[in-house]
Amino acid sequence: MKSSSALISLTIVDKNHCAIDTDYPLEKGQNLLKNLLINGIKTHSKCGGKAICSHCKIQVISGHQYCNNPVAEEKIHLTKQQLDQGWRLACQVFCLKNISIYLPSHDEI
Ligand code: FES
């Protein structure tokens, strides 16, 4: 469900980085996983956002510069190549401006 109260917005893209859904509102102080859940976007999570399960992997396609840097736990679950390609744990991502992300299927995680 989309809301008009957001300060920034999220775009979801497909594997080819084409937008498939846009203008999801994001709360700046909330991590990306919680924002996805608030918006009713299906995500994978087994640890409840504690950076343990690594099931919440997403790829930030644009707007990396508006997100916090990867935390130590992400460097455990993601390779340097994945980090360089924008892969993150959604539960550890905080954004300050609009971003677009790719949401992998469960089989891709
Ligand atoms: S929800 Fe488990 S690592 Fe993010």
What DSSP assignment string belongs to 18-76?
Answer: -EEEEEEEE-TTS-HHHHHHHTT-----SSSSSSSS-TTEEEEEE-GGGBPPPPHHHHH
Please count the other Cβ atoms lying within 10 Å of the Cβ belonging to residue 1: 8
Pocket of ligand 1 (CB under 6 A): 33, 45-47, 49, 51-56, 89, 91
pLDDT at 107: 83
21-58: per-residue pLDDT in tens?
Answer: 888 999 988 999 999 999 999 888 999 999 999 999 99
41: its two tokens = 């976007």
Are 58 and 101 contacting, i.e. CB atoms less than 8 angstroms apart?
A: yes
Fold of the CATH domain 8-104: Ubiquitin-like (UB roll) (3.10.20)
Q: How many Cα atoms are found within 13 Å in the side-chain-facing hemisphere of 37?
A: 12
Using the mean position of ligand 1's atoms as its centre, give its distance from the Cα of residue 51 in Å: 4
61-94: per-residue pLDDT in tens?
Answer: 999 999 999 999 999 999 999 999 999 999 999 9
Confidence check: pLDDT of 18 > 70: yes
pLDDT at 60: 98
